[in-house]
Amino acid sequence: MLKKSFAFTTLCALLSGCGASKPKKLDLSSDKAKVSYTIGQQIGRQLKGSGFEVDPDALAASISDVLNGKEPQMKPEEMQAAMMKAQADQTTKSESEGKANREKGSQFLVANKAKTGMKATASGLQYEIINEGKGKTPKTTDTVKVHYKGTLLDGTQFDSSYDRNEPAEFPLNGVIRGWTEGLQLMKVGGKNRLFVPSDLAYGPQGRPGIPSNSVLIFEVELLDIVKPAR
């Protein structure tokens, strides 16, 4: 992960004139420009996923003031108060969204459980078998190799090993509880669709791209149980 000082300095360089109103057309022919643009994309995604509403012009001007040795245009107590208010507003918004997501998720799971072919466990995990599979079933201590796609209830995709064109490997005791339980219901060669309640996923904390208290839907192919390296 990029260090903050380097990240913000680079962001300032990428923004046209550190506060100019009209961005200039980029020349991305050099290696330096390509690397800079790539870093900018990473920083932009981090800022977008932070939950704060950011004014790019004010952000660029503030960075420019620091780099040019100028005095801040806000007093320290004003900046502290602004951040405290933004954090409080974000908490209120997150709690409201989390409550709505929990209610929506509960209603969905009740209706989904009644569908033909749907199975449910005591924990609340729901799943349907797409392809049974004929291989071994993994244990909690195993490392598995899988292809998967994860979506929210509205169909928004937040992750996919298919898009990366590369299967994922991970220990079953190192992932969300819904995966730990769900993969142990499968056999190698099988494909299931998992409906994971928020309590078995990321709960009220959520994750970037995954709102608080979200029910998650995964299509998972269990490709193999990976043998530990000797």
Same domain, 41 and 114: no
Residue 25 falls inside a structural domain: yes
130 is catalytic: no
pLDDT of residue 47: 76
Residue 102 tokens read as: 């929990």
Among 67, 90, 120, which residue terminates a domain? Answer: 67
Taking each continuous run of H as one helix and of E as one strand, the counts in the chain are 6, 7
218 is catalytic: yes
Residue 178 falls inside a structural domain: yes
pLDDT of residue 22: 53
6 is catalytic: no
pLDDT of residue 98: 83
pLDDT of residue 230: 53
Same domain, 132 and 214: yes
Give me the tens of pLDDT residue by residue for the chain, a chain 230 residues long. Answer: 334 444 444 444 444 444 444 556 788 889 988 887 887 788 777 777 676 788 878 877 887 888 789 999 999 999 999 889 988 887 788 788 889 999 999 999 999 999 999 999 999 999 999 999 999 999 999 999 999 999 999 999 999 999 999 999 999 999 999 999 999 999 999 999 999 999 999 999 888 889 999 999 999 999 999 986 55
Residue 51 falls inside a structural domain: yes
* Domain with 17 in it: 4-67
pLDDT of residue 113: 96
Same domain, 18 and 121: no
Residue 56 falls inside a structural domain: yes
Same domain, 63 and 114: no
**Torsions phi, psi for 224 (to 5 deg):** -170, 160
Among 67, 94, 118, which residue terminates a domain? Answer: 67
Catalytic residue among 108, 129, 130, 159: 159
159 is catalytic: yes
Catalytic residue among 8, 127, 148, 195: 148
DSSP label at 137?
A: P
Regarding pTM above 0.85, the answer is no
Same domain, 60 and 126: no
In this structure, are residues 148 and 160 in contact, taking their beta carbons and an 8 Å threshold? Answer: yes
Residue 131 falls inside a structural domain: yes
Catalytic residue among 129, 142, 176, 199: 176
How many whole angstroms separate alpha carbon 186 and alpha carbon 119? 13
Catalytic residue among 8, 127, 195, 202: 202
Same domain, 63 and 116: no
Same domain, 136 and 192: yes
Please give the tally of structural domains in the chain.
Answer: 2
Same domain, 180 and 129: yes
In this structure, are residues 152 and 184 in contact, taking their beta carbons and an 8 Å threshold? Answer: no
Residue 89 falls inside a structural domain: no
Residue 208 falls inside a structural domain: yes
Report how far Cα 206 is from the mean position of its chain's Cα atoms: 8
Residue 163 falls inside a structural domain: yes
Same domain, 39 and 132: no
Same domain, 202 and 112: yes
Same domain, 126 and 55: no
CATH code of the domain covering residue 140: 3.10.50.40
How many whole angstroms separate alpha carbon 88 and alpha carbon 79? 14
108 is catalytic: no
Same domain, 126 and 181: yes
- Collapsing DSSP to helix, strand or coil, 69 comes out as coil
pLDDT of residue 7: 45
Residue 41 tokens read as: 């994309």
How many whole angstroms separate alpha carbon 179 and alpha carbon 215? 13
148 is catalytic: yes
Residue 130 tokens read as: 């797409």
